[in-house]
Each structure stands twice: as C-alpha cells, then as structure tokens.
Amino acid sequence: MASLSLKNIWKRYPNGYEAVKDFNLEIEDKEFIIFVGPSGCGKSTTLRMVAGLESISDGEFKIDGQLMNDVEPKDRDIAMVFQSYALYPHMTVYDNMAFGLKIKKTPKDEIDKKVREAAKILDLEKLLDRKPRALSGGQRQRVAMGRAIVRNPKVFLMDEPLSNLDAKLRVQMRTEISKLHQRLGATIIYVTHDQTEAMTLGTRIVVMKDGVVQQIASPQTLYNEPDNLFVAGFIGSPQMNFVDAVCEVEGQDVYLKAGDYRVPLSPEKGKKLIDGGYKGKEVIMGIRPEDVSDPASTRAKNQAVVKGTVNVYELLGAEVYLYFDMCGTQMTARVNSSTTARENDVVDFVLDTDKIHVFDKETEKAIAH
C-alpha cells in the first residue's frame, strides 16, 4: 500500500477549459478518500490523472515520494474499478481476473492461487467459468473488484462503482466495499456523486465544485462544520435549510432577524459575528432539517419558534419530512413519525439555536457553526 501526494494539480484542456484547479491533497497509507461533488466538478478527471489516463497540466503527483506525472498507467501499480465495470467481454470471469497477472508474466500456479483467493473473498467461486454477459450487475461489479484485488496494487481507484446498481444492491455492496477496505488495509480513492456513499465509506472526504476543492475533512466534520454554503448544502439529505437574515446586536446578545422572527444566537456564535464585523449586515442562516422539529418532539435546550403552514407531509416510515414556508423560503423539518402535524396545519416549528450555522452572504464562507 502507499501514500499519495497531489500538489498544485491543474488540468487544462487545449480549448482552455480548466477542469481541475490547484488541487492539493496528501493521502496517508490505508486511507479511504472520497471525491464527491456534482457532475462536472472535476472529481473523475482528478481520479483519471492519478490513474495516468489523463495527463497532468501542472503540479506534482507522487506515490510514495516518487514523481508519477510522466509514468505510464501500467507502471503506476494502480488498479481501477470503472463505473461500467469495463470487464473484457470475450474473457471468462477467471481470465478477467487473471489478465493483469498474465500480462506481468506471473507464474501460472501463483495466478491460479490469487484468482481463487479473490474469488473466495468476493463469493465468485461458482462463476469463474462464466462470461460477463452471463452475470448480473452485482456479480459484474464483484468481478471488477476481484480484478483489482488480485493484482495487490499500491492504490485502488473506484470511479462511481455502485451507480449502475439498484438501490438495494448498492447498500449491500457499500457494506462489502467497507469490509474489503478493512480486510485489505488498502489505500482507496473513491469517486461518487452520492453523498450517502461518501459519508458512510470515507475516512476523509474531498468536496469539489467547478474544479475547485471546497473542503477536505472527515464525514463528521463536513456535516457539522461545513466551510461554506456549497458544502453545507451538498452534504446532508434533505439538504440544510437556508434563510436570509440580518445580524442584530443588543448589548451582549446577538440575533439573526429573518422576516418577523428574531433567532437568538449562543454567545460563542454571537462573538464570532461581532468580531467579524457583521453587526447590521446581511448573512445567511443555515439549519439542518433534523434541528427543526415540532413542539411535541423537540429536545433542543435553546430554542426559537417559527410559525409555519405545512405545505407537504412526507412519511418515510420511521420519520416524517414536513415542508413549510419561512420568510418566503421553503424549509424542511425532519420529525418523528408520531407527529400529529398534517398538510395545511399551522405548526409552531422549533429551531435548535445551538445548531444554527451562519454564512457570509457575499463570500458564502462559514462564519459560525
């Protein structure tokens, strides 16, 4: 396994388009790194630059301290699992998994041993003689994983490997990938646009937008302390509620005034706003749906109450999403399914003021969490 270093990496295409801008990341041995972001954010391009399938326009990419910019993909000792699996259609499962080793002229008995070991781990033993077309999506995905495992590479790259699977299988394979990481102790870079995959699999997550890294942090940190409005909105489902507000200061107390409502902030958050010179300025207040509740189920110590009419009631089994308007903005509350609130009911929604995030309206950067 290996450590990776990406310093000031840029990807510019001949037409001038910059797909990746000044990407910096140090990856420790055995880390499970997730690149996440919307389509076209540069996450797959970065992964392909690591694989050597795309050239690096500028910057330095090293594996174990060795510069890799001009090293051929075959010489990087990297394995990749593609979104489409990219299995060789004319080869059996066994041959697909053995192909890389055959190219390296590994002795036959060693190839056989490694392929059968990987097949055992991935429960593919009975499918070794089949061709890819005779496999289901999940089985193909496992063969693609097996092909990567047998080579015992320094780094595993996975480009949206679960996006072609149905929802149930995706959850199952997510768990298997997680187990595999623990078992192999491998360094993995995993690209996804699914933030649930990102949150559940990664030791660290790189959030990207328009080719620029927005934040690199652990899943917990990303969720609780997003660096900016984009990360706050991208991570979490349903996404964080955002309301335009004005920062008001009365003595030592700081409030966020949104429409007719005044939401008090904790002294720590208030101090950050005062120190940042936000008194009287417009900011964006953010609060996650689980921190907005109905009076019956709230457990917030410090509260602010806003009145709203329920527009939509969505029952998800264990919980309910209630959609309502606050100051012209649609808000989502994630409440217990025992709630009595229904569509068109006027409800006093409780905001947990300790969980409020405040963002600069111009720079969209976080001011306080």
Partner 1 sequence: MKSNSLERNQKLRTAGTYLFFIIGSIIMIFPFIWMLLTSFKTVAESMQIPPDFFPAQWIIDNFKDAMASLPFGALYKNTILLIFWRVVCAVAFSSMAGYAFAKLNFKGKNLLFSLVLVQMMLPSQIFITPQYQMLAKLGLTNTIFALVFPGLVSAFGTFFLRQAYMGIPDEISEAAYLDGCNQWQTFVKVMVPLTTSSMAALAVFTAVFAYGDLMWPLIANTDLKMMTLSSGLATLRGQFNTNFPVMMAGSLLAMIPMVVLYLFFQKQFIEGVAMTGGK
Helices 93-103/137-150 angle, 10° precision: 20
Which residues, including other chains, have CB under 8 Å from residue 118's CB and lie 6 or more apart?
A: 97, 124, 146, 149, 150
4 contacts partner 1 (rule: CB under 8 A)? no
The answer to whether the Cα torsion of 18, 20, 156, 202 is positive or negative is negative
Establish if 108 lies at the interface with partner 1 (CB under 8 A).
no
Which residue among 29, 30, 73, 163 contacts partner 1 (CB under 8 A)? 73
Helix (H, G, I), strand (E, B) or coil at 28: coil
Beta bridge partners of 266: none
Interface stretch with partner 1, choices 50-58, 212-220, 309-317, 358-366 (CB under 8 A): 50-58
CB 48 within 8 A of CB 80: no
DSSP code string of 289-300: GGGEE-TTT---
Q: Which is nearer to partner 1, 2 or 229 (CB)?
A: 2
Least distance between partner 1 and beta carbon 197 (Å): 20
The interface with partner 1 within residues 164-183 (CB under 8 A) comprises: none
Q: Is 103 in the site for partner 1 (CB under 8 A)?
A: yes
Residue whose structure tokens are 């264990």: 318
Backbone angles phi, psi at 105, to 5 degrees: 55, 40
The residues pairing with 155 across neighbouring beta strands, listed in sequence order, are 78, 187
**90 near partner 1, rule: CB under 8 A:** yes
Task: Candidates 7, 58, 88, 259: give the one binding partner 1 (CB under 8 A).
Answer: 88
Which 122-161 positions form the footprint of partner 1 (CB under 8 A)? 147, 151
Q: Does 51 bind partner 1 (CB under 8 A)?
A: yes
State the nearest-atom distance from the C-beta of 103 to partner 1, in Å.
Answer: 4
Rule CB under 8 A: is residue 222 a binding residue for partner 1? Answer: no
Q: How far apart are CA 311 and CA 345, in angstroms?
A: 8
Supply the minimum distance, in Å, between the C-beta of residue 96 and partner 1.
9
Any contact of residue 82 with partner 1 (CB under 8 A)? yes
Which residue, 151 or 170, has its beta carbon nearer to partner 1? 151
307 contacts partner 1 (rule: CB under 8 A): no
Looking at residue 317, the DSSP 8-state letter turns out to be S
Q: Are strands 32-36 and 187-192 parallel, antiparallel or unpaired?
A: parallel
Residues within the interface to partner 1 (CB under 8 A):
51-53, 72-74, 78-80, 82-84, 86-90, 99-100, 103-104, 147, 151
